[in-house]
Amino acid sequence: MSLPLSSNKDHWLECYKLTWDNRVCDRHVRFREWIEKEFEPQLVKTLSAGLGATGKPLCVLGIGSAEGNHEMLQLKKLKTKFAKLSTTVIEPNKQMFLQYQETVRQKSSDFTGIEFEWHNQTFQDYVQLYGVRKKYHFISMVHSIYYVGDSDLEETIRELYDILAPGGVILMVVMTDHTGIGKVVHTFPNLATKEQKSASSDPSMTKSNRLINSTDVTSILDKYKIVYTQSEYRESWDITACFTGVDTTKGNLLLDIHTQTINFKASVSTTVYSQVMDFLKDHMSVRKSHQSDEELCYFDTVSDILLITK
C-alpha cells in the first residue's frame, strides 16, 4: 500500500530536513541567493511605489512559514524601507512554529519595529476563523501552496487575492511540472491511490501526491486576469544514494521525496519501481560535486517565483 508523503507529518518532516542539508540539496542556498539579489529591486521597490509613505505599519503575512528561515530574511529586507512591520505567521506544524518563535525571541534585537501575531494553524482554519477582512501588503508563500491549495486551488487563490491590500504583492514559490520532482509527480500521478489517500491521518496536510505546480497557479491567475511576473530558480538534488544498490535511509528518503510517496521502494510493485528509477536515470545528470572531485547523480528541479500584484 502506498500513501502520499504528506499524509504522515513525521515522515514528511524527516524528508523536509534533507532540504536543509546542503550536500544533498541546494534549494535554500539558491533561494537565499534570489532573496539577496532580487527581493529589494523586485519586491521592496514595488511595495514602496504601490503603497507610498503612509506612516502605517506594513502588514505582512507568512503562510506555511516553517521555522521562518526564509521569512526572516525577507523581513530584514523590508525593514530597510519600512520602519514598522506587523507580521502574521501561519504555521500548522507545532515543532516548526515553536522554532520560529524561539529564533525571534533569541534574536529580538534583529526584529525591533516588527510586531508578530502567531497562528499555529492551517491557512484554511485561519480563514474560517477570521474571514478575509484583514488585508495584507505582503504575503509570503514559499513552497506552501501545495498544502494550502490542495482541496480547491481556485478558491484558495481567490481568498489570497481578497486578503491582499491594493498596491500589495504576493510572493509565491512553486515547482514547475516540467522539471525534477514536479515532473516525476506529473508523469506518475497515481503512485498513491485514491482509496489509500482517505487513510491519511493528518488533516492539515494534502491528501494527494499530485503536487500543485506553477502552471496550475498561473492558469487560474490568467483566468481572473490577475497581474503577476514570473521568474525561476533551479535547485539540484544529489540522488546518488538511490543508485548504489544498497538500501539506505538517505536513498529511500530521497526516493520518497521525488515520488511524494511514503516508503516508495517498499510500497510499490517492482514494475512501477523500475519505471520510476528509469525515469530518474533518463533525466538526471552525472557531474562533479562542488565539494569534491566525486562524480555524482544530480536531479534538478526548477521552481517558479511568482510575484502577484493588486
Ligand X SMILES: C[S@@+](CC[C@H](N)C(=O)[O-])C[C@H]1O[C@@H](n2cnc3c(N)ncnc32)[C@H](O)[C@@H]1O
Binding site for ligand X (CB under 6 A): 63-66, 70, 90-93, 96, 122-124, 142-144, 147-148, 204-205
Q: Exposed, middle or buried, 75 (CB in 10 Å: 0-12/13-18/19+)? A: buried
Helix, strand, or coil (residue 262): coil
**Smallest gap, in angstroms, from Cβ of residue 166 to ligand X?**
24
Would you say 256 or 297 has its CB closer to ligand X?
Answer: 256
**Smallest gap, in angstroms, from Cβ of residue 301 to ligand X?**
13
**Cell output for 133:** 477582512
Question: Cell numbers 537565499 label which residue?
Answer: 32
**Cell output for 106:** 533569541
**Smallest gap, in angstroms, from Cβ of residue 90 to ligand X?**
5
Would you say 39 or 243 has its CB closer to ligand X?
Answer: 39
**Smallest gap, in angstroms, from Cβ of residue 271 to ligand X?**
30
Other Cβ atoms closer than 10 A to 87:
27
Would you say 122 or 196 has its CB closer to ligand X?
Answer: 122
Residue nearest to ligand X as judged by C-beta position: 64
**Smallest gap, in angstroms, from Cβ of residue 108 to ligand X?**
21
Start-end of H helices in 140-285: 145-148, 153-163, 180-187, 194-197, 214-223, 249-259, 264-267, 270-283
Question: Cell numbers 502605517 label which residue?
Answer: 56
- Counting every residue written for the chain, the total comes to 310
**Smallest gap, in angstroms, from Cβ of residue 18 to ligand X?**
12
Question: Cell numbers 546518488 label which residue?
Answer: 240
Would you say 95 or 248 has its CB closer to ligand X?
Answer: 95
Would you say 74 or 240 has its CB closer to ligand X?
Answer: 74
CA 149, CA 206: separation in Å to the nearest integer? 8
Would you say 26 or 91 has its CB closer to ligand X?
Answer: 91
**Smallest gap, in angstroms, from Cβ of residue 92 to ligand X?**
5
**Smallest gap, in angstroms, from Cβ of residue 270 to ligand X?**
30
CA 169, CA 310: separation in Å to the nearest integer? 7
Would you say 129 or 227 has its CB closer to ligand X?
Answer: 129
**Cell output for 117:** 501575531
Q: How far is CA 37 from CA 31, 62, 171, in A?
A: 10, 21, 15
Would you say 103 or 204 has its CB closer to ligand X?
Answer: 204
- Rg of the Cα trace of the chain? 20
